[in-house]
Structure 1
Amino acid sequence: MKFKINSYVIYIFGALGGLLFGYDTGVISGAILFIKSDLNLNSWAEGIVVSSILVGAMIGAAASGALSDQYGRRKTIMIAAVIFCIGALGSGMSRNMEELVIYRIVLGLAVGGASALVPVYLSELAPCENRGALSSLNQFMIILGILCAYIVNFAFAQSADGWRWMLGLAFIPSAILLIGMFFLPESPRWLVKNRREKEAAYVLSLLREGSDIQGELEEIKQTCAGENSGWKELTSKWVRPALTLGVGLALFQQFIGCNTVLYYAPTVFVNAGLGRYAAILGTIGIGVAILLATILAMWKIDQMGRKKLLLIGNVGMSISLFLIWIASEFFGQTTSSAYTTIVLFCSYIFFFGISWGPVTWVMLGEIFPLSVRGLGMGVCSVVNWGSNLLIALTFPVLLERFGHLLFVIFAFIGIVAFLFIKYKAIETKGKTLEQIEIGFHQVEAAKVTLDL
C-alpha cells in the first residue's frame, strides 16, 4: 500500500507502541493503591496483580520475534494493537482479582510484543547518522506513556472506581496505533530479506531524501546473501558475542531496580510518610524527570555514544540508591524523609533516563544480524520481562522484610553492570546495521586466524 508520508510521521507512529508499553506498565503504580483496598489484596496478591502483565509480556516477546521475521514488523505490531485494545477494556471492567489478572496477562502479550518489535522497526527504518536519536523515540514514547499514566492516576485518584478509568483509558491510544499502522510502511530490511526489493526501494525513498538509496539497498542485499536464520544461527560462534551483550543488557536493565521505582514509587512514598494522594502526585515529578532525561539522551546518544552514556548512568544511579538508604536511616518515617526520597528517586530515574532506559533498547535493535534480528530481540525481551517479573513479584515482600536496605542491593548490582558494559559492550554509534554485523564477522574471523 503506497502512501506518501512524511518520514517523521512514520517514526512517531512507529514508536506509538512504546507509549502503550509505558502507559500499561506505569498506570498500575497508582491504580494498585485503590485496587488493593477494593479487592482486599495482601502483599503477595498485590505482587501478583502488578506482575501478571509481565507473564503475558514474556509470552508476547517470545512469540513476536519469530512472527515478525516471518510476517513482517508492521503486521505483527498491528496484531499487538488489537490485543492492547482487548486487554485495556477487559482490565477496566474486571469484577474481581482473577479477571483482572487474566486481562493483565492478555495486555502483557501486547506489551511484550511492542517491547521487542518497536526498537527493531525503528532501527531498520532510521539512517545510521541519527539512528540512536530516532530509535530512542521508542523510549521517549515509553516515558511519555508512563507520565500520562501518572497524570491519569492523579486525575482519577479521588473518583469512585477511579482505578477502572486508569486502566481502561489505554484503549484510546491502542485504537490510534491500530489505525496508524495501516498507513505505515514495512521495514525495508525485512522486505529485502524477503526478496521484495522494489518495495524496499520505495520505502527508502520515503525515508532518505537526497541519499544514496541504491547503495544502501546493495549493502543490505550483500549482508542478506548466504545467511542462515533460526536458533542455529543465533547461537553460532560469530553471533554469540551479540547474544551475550543483548542478554546482559536486558538482564541488568531490570536488576538495577528501574521498575521498582515505576511500579511501586507511590507505595514507597506512603511507607515513607506521605498520604496516597500526595504519593501519586510525587510520581508525576518522577515522570517529568525521566521524560526530560530521555530528551537529553536523544540529543546526546549519537554524539557521546551508547557505551559512555551507560557508564555515566550506572554511576549516578548507584549513588542515588545508596543515598535513598542513608536518608531512610537518618530521617526515619518523617515528612523530610518522604520528600528526600522523592528527590533521590527523581535523581535515580534521571540517570536511568539518560542511559539504561533508551540505550538498552537502541542497542538491542542494532546488534543482531538481520537474519535473526527478530528472534534475537525476542530472546532478549523474554529475559528482560522475566527479570522484570521476578523483581515486581518479590519487591513488596522484600520491601516489608528489608526496608530501604533493598536499594543498597540494587546499587551493588549497578556496579556489576558498570563492569559488564566496560568490558563487554561495543560502540555502535555512526555505523550502519550492516557495518555492525560485518564487525562481528571480522572479530570471529580474527579469532579463527589466531587459533590457527
Structure 2
Amino acid sequence: MDAPTRPTAPAGPRESAAARAAKRFIVGIAAIAALGGALFGYDTGVVSGALPFMEVHFGLSSLGEGLITSALLIGAAFGSLAGGRMADSLGRRDSLLWAGAVFIGGALAVALAPTVPFMAVARFVLGLAVGSASVITPLYLSEIAPPHIRGRLVSFNSLMIVSGQLLAYLINAVLAQWEAWRWMLGMAALPAVALFAGLFFLPDTPRWYISRGRPDDAARVLRRTLPAGEVAAELARIDRARNLEADARRSAWQELRTPWVRRLLLVGIGLAVVQQITGVNAVIYFAPKILASTGLGTSAAITATIAVGAVSVVATAIGMSLIDRVGRRPLLLTGLAGMTVSLALLGASFQLPRSTAVSVLVLALMVLYMGFMQGTLNTGVWLLLAEMFPLKVRGLAMGAAVFVMWLVNFAVALAFPLLLDAIGAGLTFWFFGVMCVLSLLFCKRYAPETKGLALEDLEQELRRAEP
C-alpha cells in the first residue's frame, strides 16, 4: 500500500491531472474505434440516395432494388459471425484493423462496379466489414471503458452510426444534383483510411490481454483509464473471472450449454430481432422512395431525408445522456411505446390523398419514429449486447446475436420494396407497429438491467438471477 507513504503530497492536483489524462485517452480511443460505427452508418445510409439513380442506370425492378440493398446485409450477417470469433482469437484491435482494410477495398469496388452482379458481390464484401465492425466496436469500447461511463462510451458508437448515416444523407443531397451516385458510394473509403491508420495507435482491451496471459499489458491500459488505487482491484476482478473459466475447462461452445448462458444468448438474439423487426432500416434505406410515393421529386426526397438523419443524431445524443442515469430497460420500454404510436399514425397518413401537406406530415412522422427509435431502442440494444454475456463467450455470443440481427435486417430490406408494391405503405407501417407491440412485451419480460455494474460483477448478478 503506497498511500500512507505520501500523506502530505498534493494529491488533488496530481489526481486531477491523471483524471484529465485518462479522459483524453478514453476520448481518443472512442473517437478512433467508433469510426467503425460511422462507416457502418455511412455504408447503410448512402444507398438511400444512390438507389434512385442506380435504378435508372441499371434498370432495376423492385426486387433488384431489394437485392442491391440487401447484398451488404447478408455480408454483414456473416461478417458479424466472423467478427466475434476474430475478436476472441486475434484481439479486439487487430480484428478492427482487418475490418478497416476491407472497408477501404469494398468501398472502392462498390463505387466502380460496372454491372449489377459485380455491385452485389462488392456490397457483400463491404458487408463483411460492416458486420464485423458492428460486433467488434461495441465489444472493444465496453471492455476498455470504466464502469461509470461504460454506457455513454458504448452508446457513443451508436451516435457514430447515426452520424455516419447523416453524413451519407448530406453527401447524397449535394451529389444528387449531378446524379453522382458512384461518388456517393466511394466516399466511404476516406473514413475507412482514418480508421485503419488510427488503430495502430490504440491498445487492445485489458480483458483480452488477461485472457491471453498478458497481465502487464492489461495493467498498462488500466493505469491509463482508472485511478491508480483501483487498478489492482480491477486486475484481480478480471483475473478472477478468467480463473473461474479456466477451472471449468470448457470451450466457448460448451459454455453455451450452461442453462443460464443459453438463456442469455436467446434473450440477446431476441433483442437483436426486436431492433430490426420494428422497421428502422426500412426508413433508413428507403426514405427517399417512401417520400417520393407521396408526390415529392427525387432530389427533394433525398434532401428531405437529411431531417431523418439529423433527428437520429440528436436523439442518440439524448439517449446517451440518459442511459447511465435512467437505465436500459426503461429506455427500451418507453421507446417501443413511442414507436408504436408513431407507426400507427404514419400508416394512417398514407390513407390521405397525395399533396405537399401529406408529404410534410409523412416526413414529420418518420422523424418522430426515428427519434424514439434511435434515442432508446437502438442505443439500448447495442449496449446490452456488449454488456450482458459472460467473458468467455462474449465474442461468440455477441457475434451470434448480431448475425441474427443482420439476417432480419436483410429480410426487411429485401421484402420492403415488394411489400410497398403489394400492400402499400400504410399497411406496411401498421405491420411494423404490431411488431413494436410484440417487442414491448418481450422486452418487459426478458430484457436485463445492466446499469452501473462492472462486467465481471454483472456476470455474477446474471448468474444468480437464473432460477
- What amino acid is aligned across from residue 311 of structure 1 in structure 2? L
2:110–2:185: 8 Å Cα contact kept in structure 1? yes
**Higher mean C-alpha deviation, range 232-241 or range 94-103:** 232-241
Verify: 1:395 aligned to 2:397, yes or no: no
Ranges in structure 1 where 5+ consecutive residues have no aligned partner: 448-452
1:239–1:440: 8 Å Cα contact kept in structure 2? no
Q: CA deviation at 1:226?
A: 3.1
Verify: 1:274 aligned to 2:296, yes or no: yes
Verify: 1:182 aligned to 2:204, yes or no: no
- What amino acid is aligned across from residue 50 of structure 2 in structure 1? A
Percentage identity across paired residues of the two chains? 41
- What amino acid is aligned across from residue 432 of structure 1 in structure 2? A
1:53–1:108: 8 Å Cα contact kept in structure 2? yes
What is the alpha-carbon distance in structure 2 between the residues aligned to residue 202 and residue 229 of structure 1? 28
Match of 2:259 among 237, 250, 255: 237
TM-score w.r.t. the length of structure 1 is: 0.96
Q: CA deviation at 1:211?
A: 5.0
Deviations 1:339-360 (A, max 9, x none): 1000000000000011111111
Q: CA deviation at 1:210?
A: 4.6
Q: CA deviation at 1:334?
A: 1.8
2:80–2:132: 8 Å Cα contact kept in structure 1? yes
Q: Runs of at least 4 residues of structure 1 off by over 4 A?
A: none
Match of 2:242 among 204, 221, 224: 224
Larger Rg: 2
Deviations 1:292-334 (A, max 9, x none): 00000110000000000000100111100000111111x2222
Aligned to 2:178: 159
Match of 1:31 among 41, 46, 50: 50
Aligned to 2:168: 149
What is the alpha-carbon distance in structure 2 between the residues aligned to residue 431 and residue 340 of structure 1? 43
2:26–2:145: 8 Å Cα contact kept in structure 1? no
What is the alpha-carbon distance in structure 2 between the residues aligned to residue 40 and residue 352 of structure 1? 33
Verify: 1:247 aligned to 2:269, yes or no: yes
Match of 1:356 among 377, 380, 399: 377
How many pairs are equivalent? 441
1:54–1:388: 8 Å Cα contact kept in structure 2? yes
**Higher mean C-alpha deviation, range 131-140 or range 206-215:** 206-215
Aligned to 1:85: 104
Q: CA deviation at 1:441?
A: 2.1
**Counterpart secondary structure, 2:388:** coil
What is the alpha-carbon distance in structure 2 between the residues aligned to residue 87 and residue 353 of structure 1? 27
Ranges in structure 2 where 5+ consecutive residues have no aligned partner: 1-20
**Counterpart secondary structure, 1:226:** helix
Aligned to 1:450: none
Aligned to 2:4: none
What is the alpha-carbon distance in structure 2 between the residues aligned to residue 296 and residue 229 of structure 1? 40
Verify: 1:328 aligned to 2:347, yes or no: no
**Higher mean C-alpha deviation, range 260-269 or range 151-160:** 151-160
- What amino acid is aligned across from residue 201 of structure 2 in structure 1? F
**Higher mean C-alpha deviation, range 142-151 or range 233-242:** 233-242
**Counterpart secondary structure, 2:444:** helix
Match of 1:172 among 190, 193, 210: 190
What is the alpha-carbon distance in structure 1 between the residues aligned to residue 48 and residue 226 of structure 2? 41
Match of 2:33 among 14, 17, 22: 14
Verify: 1:133 aligned to 2:149, yes or no: no
Indicate the RMSD between aligned Cα atoms, in angstroms. Answer: 1.3
**Counterpart secondary structure, 2:387:** coil
**Higher mean C-alpha deviation, range 62-71 or range 208-217:** 208-217
- What amino acid is aligned across from residue 278 of structure 1 in structure 2? A
**Counterpart secondary structure, 1:323:** helix
**Counterpart secondary structure, 2:203:** coil
What is the alpha-carbon distance in structure 1 between the residues aligned to residue 133 and residue 263 of structure 2? 25
- What amino acid is aligned across from residue 117 of structure 2 in structure 1? E
What is the alpha-carbon distance in structure 2 between the residues aligned to residue 188 and residue 216 of structure 1? 10
TM-score w.r.t. the length of structure 2 is: 0.93
- What amino acid is aligned across from residue 327 of structure 1 in structure 2? S
What is the alpha-carbon distance in structure 2 between the residues aligned to residue 225 and residue 333 of structure 1? 65
